């Protein structure tokens, strides 16, 4: 697909990703060569081509999902079995998933793991304009312990030297960041989510080695000991952050939360639209998880939006539908939830100068919705238009997706 070199959207109500309300003196955005050239009044911004009339719609920055797996098929329940298709077959499926994401209004996503670096090829094809999809930041093979969570992706390391070698290999393959598996996980047989996987000094050495190359570090953490160790090692983001302890229920650690806040470590809680079933069933998890979020937020911990798309029953296009549920669990207003999926997410990913906000000089990543997203997030599920890096995406939201109910795990 070819990017329009010049496009002006007019007549829209605009939210810029940061402001507490809609912009008061702007209803048009001029886009030149994939970037926002100016935001202002339509009369002043008309370009040479026919403008895109978005009268009655609201335009906001394209959404950012901070945790996806392009290589995973949400319809397949055995992650290990998914490593067996041919590269060509897997690439074709990953391209379809990427296209579904951008049609849903997700214009940037952080891919937190796969085994064969195929998502990097998809990332590069999208960046060259040869494939439809979001801007991708890819972690490649997560660093894990022998037979640890996601070991089947090839990033096993028995000691510090082996872990450094895994990181060196990711760097050679061209990853954008490093993912470390600090605790066990649910998708790996024989792995216990509450247990830490590495001795503290190994985790610190992993983070230090990644940082020396300039990489940010995402740490997979369900159990509290792993959260504590990852905070001390000063990772960039904590994935899941489930606060699991030895017994059922939560083992929330106020000191660890204070350390997350003090070091500016972001929490990426991977809440998908399927979690709605806990709310509908008035499940005890809503109050328990909600209390953890309330305590984290009171401690000053910052949140970003993420879904873990690709895991069983979580489609890659899930984020817009997941945001209302994320807001409910985390006790966020629509404004706070939207910032977590736009400006704050871009900050956490180190790309705030590129995307996440609507401002002159930023990449032209945006979606237009019917309704008032600062009052009601449900309108995000069916975008009217999506623009990614200046290109108007065909078939936004996938007419095919409209009205479909998300499956639940």
Specify burial of residue 306 (Cβ count, 10 A radius: 0-12, 13-18, 19+). Answer: buried
CB nearer Zn ion, residue 404 or residue 409 = 409
* Closest separation in Å from C-beta 401 to Zn ion: 22
Measured at the alpha carbon of residue 374, what is the angle toward residues 371 and 375, in degrees to the nearest 5? 70
CB nearer Zn ion, residue 308 or residue 365 = 308
Q: What is the DSSP track for 90-129?
A: HHHHHHHHHHHHHHTTEEEEEE---SSSHHHHHHHHHHTT
- The whole-angstrom separation of Cα 391 and Cα 264 is 34
C-alpha distance across the termini of the chain, in Å: 35
Contacts of 170 (CB under 8 A, 6+ apart): 139, 140, 141, 155, 178
CB nearer Zn ion, residue 224 or residue 306 = 306
Q: Are 67 and 303 in contact (CB under 8 A)?
A: no
* Closest separation in Å from C-beta 185 to Zn ion: 8
Helix 284-298 vs helix 254-262: crossing angle, to nearest 10: 50
DSSP three-state, residue 370: strand
CB nearer Zn ion, residue 16 or residue 308 = 308
CB nearer Zn ion, residue 22 or residue 117 = 117
**Cα dist from 328 to 225, 281, 334, whole Å:** 27, 14, 9
* Closest separation in Å from C-beta 308 to Zn ion: 4
Q: Are 93 and 121 in contact (CB under 8 A)?
A: no
CB nearer Zn ion, residue 30 or residue 179 = 179
Return residues touching Zn ion (CB under 5 A).
Answer: 308
- The whole-angstrom separation of Cα 389 and Cα 363 is 5
Position of minimal CB gap to Zn ion: 308
CB nearer Zn ion, residue 68 or residue 366 = 68
CB nearer Zn ion, residue 308 or residue 344 = 308
* Closest separation in Å from C-beta 67 to Zn ion: 6
* Closest separation in Å from C-beta 366 to Zn ion: 27
CB nearer Zn ion, residue 227 or residue 385 = 227
Q: Are 114 and 142 in contact (CB under 8 A)?
A: no
**Which token pair is 174?**
């061209």
Instruction: Starting at the earlier edge strand, list the strands of the sheet with 106-111.
Output: 63-68, 106-111, 135-138
* Closest separation in Å from C-beta 69 to Zn ion: 6
Largest CA distance in the chain: 65
- The whole-angstrom separation of Cα 6 and Cα 203 is 48
* Closest separation in Å from C-beta 80 to Zn ion: 14
* Closest separation in Å from C-beta 112 to Zn ion: 5
DSSP three-state, residue 178: strand
* Closest separation in Å from C-beta 72 to Zn ion: 8
């Amino acid at each position: 697909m070819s990017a329009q070199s010049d496009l002006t959207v007019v007549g829209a109500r605009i939210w810029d990703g940061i402001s507490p309300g809609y912009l008061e003196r702007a209803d048009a955005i001029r886009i030149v060569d994939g970037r926002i050239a100016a935001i202002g009044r339509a009369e002043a911004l008309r370009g040479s081509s026919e403008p895109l009339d978005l009268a009655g719609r609201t335009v906001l920055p394209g959404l950012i999902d901070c945790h996806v797996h392009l290589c995973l098929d949400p319809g397949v329940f055995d992650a290990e079995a998914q490593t067996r298709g041919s590269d060509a077959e897997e690439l074709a499926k990953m391209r379809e998933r990427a296209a579904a994401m951008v049609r849903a209004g997700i214009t940037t996503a952080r891919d937190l793991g796969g085994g064969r670096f195929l998502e990097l090829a998809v990332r590069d094809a999208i960046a060259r304009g040869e494939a439809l999809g979001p801007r991708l930041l890819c972690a490649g093979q997560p660093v894990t312990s022998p037979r640890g969570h996601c070991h089947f992706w090839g990033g096993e390391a028995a000691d510090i030297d082996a872990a450094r070698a895994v990181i060196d290999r990711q760097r050679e393959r061209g990853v954008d960041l490093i993912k470390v598996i600090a605790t066990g996980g649910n998708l790996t047989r024989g792995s216990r989510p509450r247990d830490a996987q590495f001795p503290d000094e190994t985790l610190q050495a992993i983070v230090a080695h990644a940082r020396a190359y300039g990489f940010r570090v995402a740490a997979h953490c369900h159990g509290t000991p792993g959260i504590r160790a990852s905070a001390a090692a000063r990772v960039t983001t904590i994935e899941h952050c489930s606060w699991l302890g030895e017994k059922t229920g939560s083992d929330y650690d106020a000191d660890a939360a204070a350390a997350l806040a003090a070091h500016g470590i972001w929490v990426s809680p991977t809440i998908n639209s399927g979690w709605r079933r806990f709310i509908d069933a008035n499940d005890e998890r809503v109050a328990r998880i909600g209390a953890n979020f309330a305590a984290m937020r009171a401690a000053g911990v910052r949140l970003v939006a993420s879904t873990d798309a690709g895991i069983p029953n979580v489609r890659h296009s899930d984020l817009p539908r997941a945001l209302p549920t994320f807001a409910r669990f985390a006790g966020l207003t629509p404004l706070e939830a939207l910032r977590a999926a736009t400006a704050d997410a871009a900050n956490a990913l180190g790309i705030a100068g590129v995307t996440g906000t609507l401002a002159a000089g930023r990449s032209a990543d945006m979606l237009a919705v019917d309704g008032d997203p600062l009052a009601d997030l449900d309108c995000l599920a069916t975008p009217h238009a999506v623009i990614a890096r200046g290109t108007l995406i065909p078939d936004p939201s996938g007419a095919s997706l409209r009205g479909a109910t998300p499956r639940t795990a």
